[in-house]
Structure 1
Amino acid sequence: MNDYTAVALNYGIFRRKDFNETAQYIMLYDMGASSTSASIVSYQVVKTKEKGFLETNPQLSVLGVGYDRTLGGLEMQLRLRDYLAAKFNEMKKTKNDVTQNPRSMAKLFKEAGRLKNVLSANADHYAQVEGLIDEVDFKLQVTREEFEKLCTDLFDRVGGPVHQALKTAGLSMDVMSQVILVGAGTRVPAVQEKLSSIVGIDLSKNLNTDEAAVFGAVYKAADLSAGFKVKKFITKDTVLFPIQVTFEREVEGGTTRQTKRTLFGLMNSYPQKKILTFNKNLTDFDFNVGYGELDYLPRQEVGALGSLNITKVSLSGVAEALGKHQGPGVESKGIKAHFQMDDSGILNLVNVEHVVEKTIAGEEEPEESPLSKLGPEETLKETLEKPEEKEEGKEGEKKDETGSEGNKTRDGADKDDKKPKDNKPKIITLKEPIQSQEEPLAVQSMSEKHLEQAQAKIDRYNLNDELKRRHEGALNALESFVFEARAKLDLKEYKSAATQEEADAITKSCSEMSDWLDENGFGADAETLENKLKELKKLTGKVWERVKEHQERPDALAALNSVINGSLTFFNTIKNMTQHASADNAIFTEVEITSLEKVIKETEDWRAKAVTEQNEQPLNQSPKLTIKLIMEKMAILDREVKYLVNKAKIWKPKVPPPTTEEETKEKTINATQSNKTDIPSESELPEGLGDAPTVETSDAPSDASAAPASEEPKDATEGADEDSLKHTEL
């Protein structure tokens, strides 16, 4: 969208409650860096139909626009830059002309921009540039009056866009409620004074001049997007340059003449659709779309537009489309081209079609179906689809009702037959699409050869950019390393880590490198700079490595001590577990425990010896106790401990095999018999006891000791001791 439309939208969205059905007119005056525009906008509430509902929404309409392509703050800054350059040359501080040095002119341009901004709030100020050229400083006092004299002709052009906007809108300043300033160029006091005298009213400064257009454009984008929902605010922009269609038409005598038709006139609002009709063309033809009726513009403004031709449209299949619909009652309405100018002001050809109106007599209408004579379709549907009642009484009543309804339907059909038929002819519209092909003329499509050339050019630019980045990176890295090396050698820890020969060599190399950078560094290629950096790093590498070892060694030793202490704790724990466990339930073997103890002891001995040797060694020699060695010892110890920890995680105790029922019973009987008194043999008995009756065993019990048959036998384990019972339970 246009910048003035975006500014107007930003102004309106915060004041939508102030608008009503009566139009309010304001003027937006926008002076930017390179151009100036004045636009007249009206605000009012309108009723629109959205999705079948009538809505009331505010609407802004751009009514008139005036502009000046070359009037802006940039031209003022350039004039102030040239003024400063002329004053510097008048001082004769150097033989060189400052205007011939691009870098010096860039410095003056930057200072001129700062000075212009300061003079907008102060009557005078000093322009200062250090080392402008040949290491010569520049300082000059500039007053606001001198600046305004430089831009007198520019200030005289301030009113041009205002008069042009009023003329195109057909309004006067009497109906304007406000003149709002937009753009950084309007901060210049002389611009405000000139504009105020032209419009005759006070200027309003109630918009953020730098951000108003951006906020308005973002709001419009959110309105068009499906992912956001904002309050509706209708925008109607306007066409600044008329658009017309040019085509050839045959005339009497077989000759052709060029015909022009205006499609969108000056100040037509958009978005809008237009239809252009071609009545005399019977075969395929072409027409051009372009700018036209630009007599009101100055010659230089017409030249700024570039090519006046926008596109060329070729139509094919015209004769075939015309031949499809011929005969009596057929009237051709011509070939219609549908154009649309969307919200972005882009013109599109929607479609092209041949339109025909065909007259159909009343007799040709299609005959009515027999069912239509029985009555309306709804009545038939009701009659046929009524549910049947199961009860006889209700069923009889339903039949009577249906019969009466049928009579009514037939009576109605008879009445319709008696009505006279409408035999008026009917007109129907037929549309036949026509193929169209567009060829853009404003911006020609590039040929394959030109595309290849353009791609090669882009590749060259990319390569140059890559070389530039590489050169700047290598130059910055080398300069930084030189300054860093000099600064480090002044520190105590770096001095002590380097021998006198190494320190002298590094200092000498840095001095030589610094001198070389001042003379040839900017012009040297990236590869040379990278090689210089590698040489310097190689020279300082050993010293820097010693310092790094000395700085990181305490932390590495602390980590080693922590690992040793943790390993000792783990060793003592598993050693106690193994001593109190049986051979079958021991997790670790004696070899594993001994191996861990050996590794711990070796590590402790190595640490004590290495620390002692390192403390006795000077700092400027290569260290014996390196971070790498410490990490290796930690890894060995950690590996041993992790092996045993993982073994403990996966270890499971041994489970005794289960015993059968017979084995359990046999063990119980043996345990019971072991508790009874043993009976001696006859030879072992004393004299006099040999005649004692012997104990006979029999399957059947004696009368005295036999238990009744009905009595249940005692438990086999009765009389067994507690240990035997426990064993049986196992």
Structure 2
Amino acid sequence: MSVIGLDLGNQSCFVAVARGGGIETVANEYSDRSTPSIVSLGPKQRFIGSAAKQQVVTNFKNTATNFRNLLGLKFSDPAVAHELRFSNFSAEETQDGDVGIHMEYLGEACVFKPEQVVAMLLTQLKKVGEMNLSGKVSDCVISVPCFFDDRQRRALLDAAATAGLNCLRLMNDTTATALAYGIYKQDLPAPEEKPRNVVFVDMGNSALRVTLASFIKGKLKVLATAWDSKLGGRDFDERIQKHFNEEFKNKYKVDASTKPRPRIRLSQESEKIKKLMSANTTPIPMNIECFMDDKDVTAKMKRSEMEELCADLLARLEVPMKKVLTDSGLSPKDLYSVEVVGGSTRVPAVRDAIKRVFGLELSTTLNQDEAVARGCALQCAMLSPTFKVREFKVEDVVSYPIRLTWKPSCEEEEAEMDVFPPRQAYPYSKMLSFFRREPFFIHAQYADGGHTDPNIGRYTIAKVVPTSEGEASKVKVKVRVNIHGIFNVTSAVLVEKITAEDAAAEPEDSTAGEPSGEAATSETQNGAPEGDQPMDVDETPATEATDSASAPAAAAEDASGNGDDGSKKSESEPPKKKVKVKSHDLPIDARVEGGSTHEALTRLIERENEMISQDRLEKERADAKNAVEEYVYEMREKISSTLSDFISGPDSEKFSAALTACEDWLYEEGEEVSRQIYVDKLGELQKTGEPIKMRARESSERQPAFDTLGKTIVHYRKILSLCGGKDEKYEHLSADDIKSVAGHVEAKQVWMHERMAEVAKLNKFDNPPFLSTAILTEKTALENLCNPVVNKPKPKVEPPKDAKPAETAPAPEAAATAEQSQPAPATANIDADLD
């Protein structure tokens, strides 16, 4: 089973694989370990990754960049408008309110969902993994920005499924970095010691993420995470771009913002000059030829000027870094180190800002570009049964607090409860107890107030009925944030009490202290990975669970005398009856925000497979065309040089004309034809060209083949000469044996002389009457006929019956003594390092 980790970046991606020797970041077909996050659609096929990079300027309308962060967003979300500032494609709102990316494919205008475009990129990354592993890739772990919510995570899972990938986990990118850092550390504190606290700052192309994690031996625990999803390297590029555009407007009277192609070129040059300024303090020049209106432009910028332009951006860097310290309750003196990753952390001003906040020198023990991919590959190996990895537990935290709301009854207002507070560890489950007489719904939403649309989903618990006495039934609902960081209601159970006077009573699930009205209480289960048996922990206080809904419920219990909320029960109350508890699974109708239905996902997969097939057919067609073009150029050069002796003058002129005609056809009506036509055209040329190649090849191989046969004949003639001289080695051969070998040798000698005479009469441009392989076949036949005769073993000679044995075997006792006297073989103990 192949194991890969994918760092799905907004600007570039990395693929890491797990092999027997460890984790390795692999290169794509261009021998580059970085694959650009670019998808370009051509009239016949798609260009993805490195192949699409050159299309950004020439085919900008059909080239998608900066599309990852559009996953799962509604078109009305303000984040969409921010992302589209950095994109060149046109976007529109679809019928269901999602983002539609408008591009042309196969000559038709198409609207693609961001999930489809991301799936195209994942398909290319999958190919990179398969190319390096020489096998199919299915299971993977994909990095995800820690600020992605449920909708965006569901959309990314849909994209992975569309690309044919089985995503074992969506892993927060900073958590993957922390795993890549901690799993190799041999000096981590013991569990009973004070943990090691490390800050990870990841600033990439589009966002800044900061995570504070604690490490002990065998465990990583994320304490706090903060981010600025609108602060990345591209924001610095934009400031530089605007500065130069204003300078060019004043100096050259050209405005790059009015036309897409100059704007793209200026953006690319701005990114280059930013990188150069990060390594140099001297002014860096910018020169662009034929920028606009056939004008060449030039300008300069110093690092200090860039820092002045981006002063407000640099000030924003400190906000998330200070927030992780506040949320974790730690101070800079509690930190062990600060690890920086991401391309934008190479900017000196960014590094200075990080130092100011944490007061520590920055550590770069990790590869700034590949750490996330390596962490994802490690996590995939840990989740895969194929690899044995050192035990290392990863405990992440939810990005946003989650609140549940429900109606205690039809007449009452909604009640609510924060079921997953900020920095709650996950995977994690909680069991909620509701007391209902009829079906009800639970509404999940984010409680932080930072979302334009905080809704996560609505879950209807069906087939809830009252007890036989007409009272509210107890319904236990399990909610969970799974390994991907996605919330869901996983199960609902109706608990039925059956009175049994004479039966042995079974323990009842937490009936004491729970109201019998329509309220809810909660139990929690800790975050074991999916599929593991969770471990019970302490229940949360009843007041936290019941909230405002508990009061009317308690009043109802007081009136009925069945409550246990502090009121005194009647002294004449009869003893409790023995009860049995029976559970019934209840259906859940989940209507979640984001994610595709099964039918919609099936259509996406079919569409992606169709495009993959089209890409394959177009590649085969292009390969067939290239084969014709290559053959034309090859034969035209060779028939006038190395192959000129093997084709007659008239035939050479005729073949040269055919090659020229084929070349003209290739660049005219043969520019866009089917693969089969190219195959047929190549076959026509090969009918003339391949015999020429064959004659040249035979001319070089024929004489060595004759020499090999001649040496074999000489070999057997020497043996016949030895036989005539009564050589001891061959004296056992009979006269018939010698005669047989002599006949075979003489026949092959005659055959060789006749063939050599035939060849001597031929011109070089004539087809030979036989091939050199026939000569080698005759040589092999001669060996097969003669070797069994000349290598016949001598007959064994029986010794005389009265002869004494040459040596006497030692007595058994002597043999045993000699055996005991031999030294014992040396042994060595080998300790295997199981880690």
Fold shared by both chains (TM-score > 0.5): yes
d(CA) in 2 for partners of 1:39, 1:11? 13
Distance in 2, matches of 1:315 and 1:559, equals: 89
CA deviation digits over 1:214-242, x for unaligned, max 9? 44445555555666666655443222222
Q: Cα deviation per residue 1:229-274 (whole Å; 9 max; x = unaligned)? A: 66655443222222233333325xxx36443333212222234332
Alignment partner of 1:550 is 2:699: yes
DSSP 3-state at the match of 2:365: coil
2:631 pairs with 481, 486, 495, which one? Answer: 481
Does residue 7 of structure 1 match 2:149? no
Question: Which of these residues, 202, 212, 216, is aligned with residue 30 of structure 1?
Answer: 202
Counterpart selection for 1:607 from 744, 755, 770: 755
Q: Equivalents in 2 of 1:359, 1:234: separation in Å?
A: 45
- Pairwise CA distance, 1:587: 6.1
The structure 1 residue matched to 2:485, chosen from 319, 324, 345, is 345
Residue 278 (1) aligns with residue 434 (2) = yes
Cα 1:487–1:155 change in 2 (3 A) is: farther
Whole-Å separation in 2 of the counterparts to 1:91 and 1:505:
61
Q: Does 1:632 align with 2:774?
A: yes
1:434 counterpart residue number: 584
Residue pair 1:26, 1:41 contacting (<8 A) in 2 also: yes
Q: CA deviation at 1:601?
A: 4.4
Q: Which residue does 1:622 correspond to in 2?
A: 766
Aligned to 2:608: 458
Aligned residue number for residue 210 of structure 1: 369
Taking the aligned partners of 1:543 and 1:533, their CA distance within structure 2 comes to: 15
**Larger deviation, residues 352-361 vs 236-245:** 352-361
Identify the residue that residue 262 of structure 1 maps to in structure 2. Answer: 418
Counterpart mapping for 1:236-315 below 5 A: 236-250=395-409, 255=411, 257-279=413-435, 281-283=436-438, 285-295=439-449, 297=450, 301-302=451-452, 308-310=455-457, 312-315=459-462
Name the aligned partner's letter for residue 118 of structure 1.
L
Partner-residue secondary structure (3-state), 1:250: coil
Aligned-partner SS, 1:5: helix
Counterpart of 1:442, as a letter, is: E
Partner of residue 468, structure 1: 618
For the 8 Å contact 1:314–1:437, the answer to whether it is kept is yes
Work out whether residues 318 and 354 of structure 2, in 8 Å CA contact, stay in contact via their aligned partners in 1. yes
Q: CA deviation at 1:278?
A: 0.5
- The aligned counterpart of 2:560 is none
Q: Residues of 2 paired with 1:221 and 1:257: CA distance? A: 46
| One-letter amino acid of the counterpart of residue 610, structure 1 | E
Distance in 1, matches of 2:685 and 2:252, equals 44
With over 3 angstroms needed to count, the CA separation of the structure-2 counterparts of 1:535 and 1:642, relative to structure 1, is closer
**Percent identity over the alignment?**
23
Cα distance per residue 1:691-717 (max 9 Å; x no partner): xxxxxxxxxxxxxxxxxxxxxxxxxxx
Structure 2 residues without counterparts, runs of 5 or longer: 1-170, 507-573, 796-835
CA contact (8 A) 1:89 1:97 kept: no
Residue correspondence of structure 1 range 109-508 to structure 2 within 5 A: 113-123=271-281, 124-126=283-285, 142-145=301-304, 147-148=306-307, 151=310, 154-166=313-325, 168-169=327-328, 178-197=337-356, 199=357, 201-208=359-366, 209-220=368-379, 232-250=391-409, 255=411, 257-279=413-435, 281-283=436-438, 285-295=439-449, 297=450, 301-302=451-452, 308-310=455-457, 312-316=459-463, 318-319=465-466, 322-323=467-468, 334-347=474-487, 349=489, 351-355=491-495, 430-440=580-590, 441-443=592-594, 446=597, 448=599, 450=600, 453-454=603-604, 456-489=606-639, 491=641, 493-504=642-653
- 2:478 is paired with a residue whose SS is strand
TM-superposed deviation, 1:9: 3.8
Contact conserved, 1:357 with 1:428, CA < 8 A, in 2? Answer: no
1:317-368 CA-partner distances (Å, limit 9, x unpaired): 644xx44xx79xxx999322233445553445554344578999999999xx
Q: Give the match for residue 213 of structure 2.
A: 41
CA contact (8 A) 1:336 1:353 kept: yes
Q: CA offset at residue 511 of structure 1?
A: 5.8
RMSD: 5.2
Aligned residues of 1:60 and 1:235 also touching (Cα < 8 A): yes
Q: Are residues 59 and 554 of structure 1, via their aligned partners in 2, closer, same or farther at CA, if it must alter by over 3 Å? A: same
Alpha-carbon distance between aligned partners in 2 of 1:513 and 1:129, rounded to the nearest angstrom: 40
State the distance in 1 between where 2:362 and 2:679 align. 59
Match of 1:697 in 2: none
Q: How many angstroms apart in 1 are the aligned matches of 2:636 and 2:707? A: 32
> What letter is aligned with 2:431?
I
CA distance in 1, matches of 2:388, 2:269: 45
Change (3 A) 1:638 1:205: closer
Structure with greater Cα Rg = 1
Q: CA separation in 2, counterparts of 1:85 and 1:532?
A: 52
Structure 1 residues 95 and 636 mapped into 2: Cα distance closer, same or farther (>3 Å)? Answer: farther
Using the alignment, how far apart are the partners of 1:608 and 1:474 within structure 2? 41
What is the match of residue 225 of structure 2? 65
Contact 1:332 1:357 in 2 (8 A): no
Greater share of helix residues, 1 or 2? 1
Give me the whole-angstrom Cα distance separating, in 2, the residues matched to 1:510 and 1:87.
Answer: 55
Could you tell me which amino acid in structure 2 is paired with residue 282 of structure 1?
R
Is the contact made by 1:8 and 1:41 (CA closer than 8 Å) also made in structure 2? yes
Instruction: Provide the C-alpha distance between the structure 2 equivalents of 1:429 and 1:138, rounded to a whole number of angstroms.
Output: 88
Distance 1:594 1:638 in 2: 16
Counterpart AA for 1:622: D
Contact 2:277 2:284 in 1 (8 A): yes
Query: Residue 606 of structure 1: CA displacement?
Result: 0.6
Which amino acid is the alignment partner of residue 269 of structure 1? Answer: A
Q: 1:248 to 1:17 in 2, by over 3 A?
A: closer
Of the structure 1 ranges 543-552 and 138-147, higher mean CA displacement relative to structure 2 is found in 138-147
* Matching residue of 2:3: none
* Superposed displacement of residue 462, structure 1: 2.6
Normalising by the residue count of structure 2, what TM-score does the alignment of the two structures yield? 0.54
Count, aligned residues? 549
